[in-house]
Structure formats: structure tokens, C-alpha cells
């Protein structure tokens, strides 16, 4: 083969290659989809658990099994990233609404990591099963081949609420990053309903329902007046303070008790906070501290700072806000994949994307259900009609040489070669015009279906099918009916 050398500018090759790499990281790894609020690795873990049948009412399965299956079928990027995604989806202190039910040591709020995947177990949460995975069998989303084209995986999960807002998201891509705070599920759902009733609603109108972020660690937002601009632009900084309670201590001393912490303090920053408080005393910036103890447990955060009797408590608390991370900043950058490209979105845009997606999913769902009901209607009407002329059907079956002859008579009225008892039967048989599906159903019908009660049940089932068809047609024809669904 003759050697062919293509001369090209090195900088152009590097630029194109880097852009391709950057877009791959942005779209396929680091950023969530605006529709279901999930990154590809999270989506793949949940879908794999669904395929393995690890449902909320079934026994837990080893995390190693889930990770291995996900990596082998859908996500060939190493087990650590898959297990990390699984762990985060179980942690109540990181997610407003955990999507996975973990059993075992999945880490804690103070920064201790999860146990190895061979020790921990997991299964789907009930809400994940019902709100993300329940309609996948109804052709509601597109599927595409996996990396080696041996399996199919969904492009997106049919999430029934804006998970991007409820659970938030954090991710660093190439040249961009996302940081979306979690919100209260009830407030988000109320805002979605308000938007569906009035699509011209303003950010201020939506904020009547969504007052602000709802961090799993609690805390108090101090710059509420800036939230409107943050929600309108999709970027900004939220200042969060820990919640401080004052309690009476022993021997007339005062205890400053921290029961809620700023969201960014999760992990190693709690121990750093304790060290910073101790440093205030060591550096003589305050003489008021007697003792510091971290009494946090599974029930929640409880950090107790014991002060001497004559301490100025208000002054000390203000010092904590200024000198430690008891007041911290959460940087908001509501960046997500919308229509195949990264986009910084406002609160209203995120809700609109999800609502539009809901209508697409509902349209596909009810189109599939309608097609199934129409198919049932066709077969039911054929069986009812057959039961009315059952003696003729039996005569055709007994007089035919094979199935093909009998079917040709039922569908096209061909009577050649069939032995009839009378000319009248032959004339009636020649007038039969069942559809292909009806003929197959008649030929496969069991004799017990001729019992009176069975026939009555068939007629009732047909009436139910007709009611479903009417309902599904109404949902598909009228946007108001679909919105109600």
C-alpha cells in the first residue's frame, strides 16, 4: 500500500482534538441533563439496578455487583467513578432526596469515606423506581447502543419532577463547572404546577413557592434579597450561616450549640472548623472558650462550645461568623445540558425544560397505551363476533384441512376445499371478514371462553377498553387533559 502523508498545521490539529475532548467530557461525563437532572454515570447506575431487579421491596445486593455490571454494560470508565456516584446517591447529607437506599457504611457528614464496595449493599429507593424508571417499558424515551453495541441504554430517564432542582448538582468539566443547590421537593412541585397553569409567570412568582435553596445540612441564608437575581441569571453567591442555639451549661456557664452547618462545611471542613475555633483561643483572639466538643451523631449535628460565665455570647457568635466557616458561601452556577449543549439556565428555564419534557414523555406514553388498547379492542370485537356465530366457526374448523385454510375462510371468505354441512353454512362462511389479528385470536381461543360468564367478562373488558381509548384520545388531543395527568 502506498504511503500517504497529509500535511497540516499542528496547532489546528491540537485545537480540534482538544475541543472534541472537551465536548466529550462536558456532554458525556461531568454535566447533568436538564431533563432528568442526572449525569450519565448516575443514569447508568440507576438503569442497571432497574435491569437487575434491585427494587425497593427486594433484598439489598452487593454494591460490587452493581458497579461491575454497570461498568461491563454501560460505563467502561473504571469502577471508582461508578461507586462514587452510587455512594453520593445514598447520602442524605448531600442529596435532598437520596435516589439509592444504602445498607452499610456509606460515609458520614464529617468526611469519613464509604466502606469498600465489597462490604456495602444497595437497592433503589421507592421514589426512584416510581418517578424515574416506571414508564421505560412504554417507549417514553429513546434508547441508544452502549459502547460495544451489545446492549441498549436510555438517553434520559423519564423523571416526573425537576430532579436538577431537587437534588442539585456539582461537577467540573473542561473550561466550565456546574454548581446547583438542592431544593425542597414539595416547593418545586408547587412551582411546576404554577408554571403549568401560567407559563408567563415571573421568577418572583415562582419564588412564592420556592423560597430558596433547601440544603440537607440546614443553615440560614443571609442574603435572601439577592436570591431573585441568582434565580433569574443562574449565577451568583448564596451566603449560608450555621444555626446557633444558646443553652445553659454547668455551674452557670453558657453553651453555644451549633445544630445546623453551612452546606459547604460537609466533610473535612467540620474538623477544620473545630481547629479554627481552637485557634481563636490559642491566638488569644478570645479568652471565653472553656471547652469544645463534637457531639454529632446519626440524629444530626451537635457541636458544643462551652463559654465562661461572664462571656459576651453575641460578640463571640459574631466572631465565629467572621473568623471561621460557620458562615460560608455557596457559589451558584446553574449549568446543565439542554438540547444537547451546555447552557446556564434561570430557575424558570429549568422548570420549563422539565415541563416540556413531561409533555413529550406523556405524549409518547399515551400514544403507546392507545395503540395497545386499540389492538385489544380489535381482538375483543373479533372474539365477541365469533361467539355469536360459534357454530359456524366450529363447522369451518372441522371441515378445513389445515390452519391456513381455516384462516383464509375467516379473513377472506374463501370456502373452497372446506366441507360444510349445508349450503346455508357455506354462504354465511363466504361472507366472513375477520381481520388477520382477529382470525389468529379465534384460532387460538380455548373452549372454556364459550362459558356464559367468560363471555360476559369479555364484553365487560371490551367496555373498559373503549373507556380507556376515549380517555387516552382525550389526553392526547387536549393539552389541558394532559396537564391534569
> Active-site positions?
119
Angstrom distance (rounded) from CA 463 to CA 470: 11
Which string of b and e fits 268-287 if b means at least 16 CB within 10 Å?
ebbeebbeebeebeeeeebe
From residue 371, alpha-carbon distances to 275, 368, 376, 484 in Å are 65, 5, 9, 21
Contacts of 257 (CB under 8 A, 6+ apart): 244, 245, 246, 247, 302, 303, 304, 305
Q: In sequence order, what are the residues at sequence separation of 6 or more whose Cβ sits closer than 8 angstroms to the Cβ of residue 237?
A: 223, 226, 230, 329, 330, 331, 332
Closest to 96 (Cα-Cα) out of 272, 217, 194: 217
- Those residues whose C-beta lies under 8 Å from the C-beta of residue 304, and which sit 6 or more positions away, are 255, 256, 257, 258, 291, 292, 293, 294, 295
What Å distances lie between residue 404 and 311, 412, 436, CA to CA? Answer: 99, 12, 12
Residue pair 250/291 in contact (Cβ under 8 Å)? The answer is no
Question: Strand, helix or coil at 454?
Answer: helix
Show the cell assigned to 129.
Answer: 423506581
- Residue 458 CA to residue 447 CA, distance in Å, equals 14
Residue 329: which H helix or E strand, with range? Answer: strand 327-333
The answer to whether 262 and 219 are in contact (CB under 8 A) is yes
Helix (H, G, I), strand (E, B) or coil at 435: coil
Please report the sign of the dihedral spanned by the C-alpha atoms of residue 413, residue 373, residue 140, residue 58: negative
What the block records as the C-alpha cell of 257 is 450549640
How far is it, in rounded angstroms, from Cα 68 to Cα 266? 29
Amino acid at each position: 500500500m502506498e504511503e500517504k502523508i497529509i500535511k497540516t498545521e499542528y496547532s489546528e490539529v491540537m485545537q480540534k482534538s482538544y475541543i472534541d475532548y472537551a465536548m466529550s467530557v462536558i456532554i458525556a461525563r461531568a454535566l447533568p441533563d436538564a431533563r432528568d437532572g442526572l449525569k450519565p454515570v448516575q443514569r447508568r447506575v440507576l438503569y442497571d439496578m432497574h435491569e437487575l431487579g434491585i427494587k425497593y421491596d427486594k433484598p439489598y445486593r452487593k454494591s460490587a455487583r452493581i458497579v461491575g455490571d454497570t461498568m461491563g454494560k454501560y460505563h467502561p470508565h473504571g469502577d471508582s467513578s461508578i461507586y462514587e456516584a452510587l455512594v453520593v446517591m445514598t447520602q442524605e447529607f448531600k442529596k435532598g432526596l437520596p435516589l439509592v437506599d444504602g445498607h452499610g457504611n456509606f460515609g458520614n457528614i464529617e468526611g469519613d469515606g464509604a466502606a469498600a464496595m465489597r462490604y456495602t449493599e444497595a437497592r433503589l429507593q421507592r421514589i426512584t423506581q416510581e418517578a424515574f424508571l416506571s414508564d421505560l417499558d412504554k417507549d417514553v424515551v429513546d434508547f441508544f447502543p452502549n459502547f460495544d453495541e451489545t446492549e441498549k441504554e436510555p438517553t434520559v430517564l423519564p423523571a416526573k419532577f425537576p430532579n436538577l432542582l431537587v437534588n442539585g448538582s456539582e461537577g467540573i468539566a473542561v473550561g466550565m463547572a456546574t454548581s446547583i443547590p438542592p431544593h425542597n421537593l414539595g416547593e418545586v412541585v408547587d412551582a411546576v404546577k404554577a408554571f403549568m397553569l401560567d407559563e408567563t409567570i415571573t421568577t418572583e412568582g415562582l419564588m412564592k413557592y420556592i423560597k430558596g435553596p433547601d440544603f440537607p445540612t440546614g443553615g440560614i441564608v443571609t442574603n435572601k434579597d439577592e436570591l431573585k437575581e441568582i434565580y433569574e441569571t443562574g449565577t451568583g453567591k448564596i451566603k449560608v450561616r450555621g444555626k446557633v442555639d444558646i443553652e445553659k451549661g454547668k455551674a452557670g456557664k453558657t453553651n453555644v450549640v451549633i445544630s445546623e452547618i453551612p452546606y459547604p462545611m460537609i466533610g473535612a471542613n467540620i474538623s477544620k472548623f473545630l481547629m479554627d475555633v481552637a485557634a481563636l483561643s490559642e491566638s488569644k483572639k478570645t479568652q471565653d472558650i472553656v471547652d469544645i466538643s463534637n457531639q454529632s451523631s446519626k440524629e444530626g449535628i451537635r457541636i458544643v462550645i462551652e463559654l465562661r460565665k461572664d462571656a459576651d455570647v453575641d460578640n463571640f457568635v459574631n466572631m465565629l461568623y467572621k473568623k471561621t466557616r460557620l458562615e460560608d458561601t455557596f457559589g451558584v452556577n446553574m449549568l446543565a445540558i439542554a438540547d444537547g449543549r451546555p447552557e446556564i439556565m434561570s430557575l424558570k428555564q429549568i422548570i420549563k425544560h422539565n415541563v416540556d419534557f413531561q409533555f413529550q414523555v406523556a405524549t409518547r406514553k399515551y400514544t403507546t397505551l392507545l395503540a395497545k388498547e386499540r389492538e385489544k379492542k380489535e381482538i375483543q370485537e373479533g372474539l365477541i363476533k365469533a361467539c355469536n356465530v360459534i357454530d359456524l366457526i366450529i363447522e369451518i374448523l372441522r371441515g378445513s384441512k389445515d390452519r391456513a385454510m381455516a384462516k383464509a375462510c375467516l379473513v377472506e371468505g374463501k370456502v373452497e376445499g372446506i366441507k360444510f354441512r349445508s349450503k346455508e353454512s357455506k354462504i354465511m362462511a363466504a361472507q366472513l371478514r375477520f381481520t388477520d389479528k382477529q382470525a389468529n385470536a379465534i384460532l387460538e381461543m380455548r373452549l372454556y371462553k364459550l362459558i356464559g360468564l367468560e363471555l360476559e367478562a369479555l364484553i365487560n373488558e371490551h367496555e373498559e377498553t373503549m373507556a380507556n381509548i376515549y380517555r387516552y384520545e382525550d389526553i392526547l388531543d387536549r393539552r389541558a387533559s394532559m396537564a391534569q395527568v
